Amino acid sequence: MSSENIVPSTMRAAVYRGLNDVRIETIPVPRIGSGEVLVKIHTCGICGTDLKKIHTGSHSAPRVFGHEMAGTVAAVGEGVVEFKVGDRVMAYHHIPCGECFYCRKHTFAQCETYKKVGCTAGFEPSGGGFAEYIRVMDWIVQRGLVKIPDGVSFEQAAFIEPVNTCYKAVNLLNLQLDETVLVIGQGPIGILLAALAKRTGATVLTSDLYPERHAVAAKFGLDHPLDARGDVVAAAKTATEGRGADVALVAVGANALIKVAMDAIRPGGRVVLFAATQHGEAPFDPAAVCMDEKTLMGSYSASVAIQDEVTRLVLDGQRNGFDLTQLISHRFSIEEAVAAIDLASNPQPDSMKIVIQPGS
């Protein structure tokens, strides 16, 4: 391990110990090898996929989750020349091989290398952002470690990975200026999807239960709020001369909303499932797909094909009207990480993006 500063031997981390069991513990700072980098975490957002793993027990314990992360290079391994101690960076936790069948088809999330996690705070690699330090493995250093320029906050940079996932979904749709998009759910991801869709010039309708969330969405120019307690399907048709929306993006992991989305789009329209990451069965009308020519599709995780474009968008955002820190409603220290996870797991009308800041 090469370093110009003193790295402690231990650190504090929120350690997943089993189903619904996360504990603040002192664990060893991970050691890095050749080609690797040690990053001191400043900010890490809590993602719904982190919560799903904690609350379903889908992953073995112990682990340290967290992957929407930004911080400072604390040490570099032998052979690392692109980064030095003190560099401000964000790290992707998944990067594909670029050569396999799925990479050639640009279905990067299905690449076996992509499915490997390249960042860890120790234990089984799981991101590690809910800790003071992470080890970034060599293939991530080469293609998934992004420098943060001066003047851009760690909080803004921590959104690069989630924005990539949303930008990928919006790109999939090839939206036209005359199209209307319905985004169901206005949590942080729903607002990102809606804001990115609006940037294409399309008209965007946003649906949510809480006026507090619509108020945050309005900061991103989203000015067609729909009350989810009302008839969203009828509202979408009213806004489109009775046809229905051209596109519906479902940003909530509730299978019952698939039918709402399918009913809310016009014949020939498209529905994108963004948060349906739980296996199961969900009913929908097959004749709507066949006779009404409606398309049901999914989008999952990030894409390296748009990585540079997304990086520019986010890093320029605070000065160009795309200040994502407006989505942050609560900030917690590493010692308060269990409370942060609890709040994120039980969202309130005024809670949006919850971040843990081990290095603030």
CATH code of the domain in which 291 resides: 3.40.50.720
| 121 and 233 within one domain | no
Q: How confident is the model at residue 6 (pLDDT cuts 50, 70, 90)?
A: confident
pLDDT tens digits, 335-353: 999 999 999 999 999 999 9
In this predicted structure, what is the pLDDT of residue 359? 85
In the chain, DSSP assigns E strands to: 10-18, 21-28, 37-45, 68-76, 88-91, 119-120, 133-136, 145-147, 180-184, 203-208, 225-227, 245-250, 265-273, 295-298, 328-332, 353-356
Global confidence as pTM? 0.96
233 belongs to a structural domain: yes
* pLDDT over 90 at 84, yes or no: yes
Positive or negative, the Cα torsion across 329, 48, 16, 69?
negative
Identify whether the C-beta of residue 27 lies closer than 8 Å to the C-beta of residue 8.
Answer: no
197 belongs to a structural domain: yes
Q: Can you read off the two tokens belonging to residue 297? A: 């599709």
Query: Rounded distance, CA 155 to CA 71, Å?
Result: 9
Query: Rounded distance, CA 161 to CA 316, Å?
Result: 15
| 257 and 177 within one domain | yes
66 belongs to a structural domain: yes
303 belongs to a structural domain: no
36 belongs to a structural domain: yes
Beta bridge partners of 194: none
Which structural domain, as residue segments, surrounds residue 185? 164-298
Residue 11 backbone dihedrals phi, psi, to 5 degrees: -150, 170
| 136 and 22 within one domain | yes
Q: Give me the mean pLDDT over the 71-90 stretch.
A: 98
Show which of 298, 331, 346 is a domain's final residue.
298
Query: Rounded distance, CA 61 to CA 294, Å?
Result: 42
Query: Rounded distance, CA 50 to CA 105, Å?
Result: 28
Query: Rounded distance, CA 84 to CA 324, Å?
Result: 27
* pLDDT over 90 at 60, yes or no: yes
| 208 and 126 within one domain | no
232 belongs to a structural domain: yes
| 244 and 131 within one domain | no
Q: Give me the mean pLDDT over the 289-300 stretch.
A: 97
| 283 and 200 within one domain | yes
| 337 and 270 within one domain | no
| 256 and 211 within one domain | yes
In this predicted structure, what is the pLDDT of residue 3? 44
Identify whether the C-beta of residue 196 lies closer than 8 Å to the C-beta of residue 166.
Answer: yes
> Mean pLDDT across the chain, nearest whole number?
96
| 136 and 66 within one domain | yes
Q: How confident is the model at residue 302 (pLDDT cuts 50, 70, 90)?
A: very high
pLDDT tens digits, 37-59: 999 999 999 999 999 999 999 99
| 40: helix, strand or coil | strand
Q: How do 68-76 and 88-91 pair as beta strands?
A: antiparallel
DSSP 30: P
pLDDT tens digits, 251-281: 999 999 999 999 999 999 999 999 999 898 9
> Percent of the chain scored above 90 by pLDDT?
94
Q: Give me the mean pLDDT over the 13-22 stretch.
A: 98
pLDDT tens digits, 108-133: 999 999 999 999 999 999 999 999 99
- The counts of H helices and E strands in the chain are 13, 16
Query: Rounded distance, CA 6 to CA 241, Å?
Result: 65
Residue 36 belongs to a domain with what CATH number?
3.90.180.10
Number of structural domains (the chain) is: 2
| 282: helix, strand or coil | coil
Verify cis geometry, omega within 30 degrees of 0, for the bond prior to 8.
Answer: no
In this predicted structure, what is the pLDDT of residue 283? 85
3 belongs to a structural domain: no
Question: Of 354, 356, 16, which is closest to residue 189 (Cα–Cα)?
Answer: 354
* pLDDT over 80 at 319, yes or no: yes
Q: Give me the mean pLDDT over the 190-215 stretch.
A: 98
| 168 and 144 within one domain | no
Query: Rounded distance, CA 150 to CA 167, Å?
Result: 24
| 169 and 96 within one domain | no
| 268 and 170 within one domain | yes
In this predicted structure, what is the pLDDT of residue 5? 67
* pLDDT over 70 at 287, yes or no: yes
In this predicted structure, what is the pLDDT of residue 2? 46
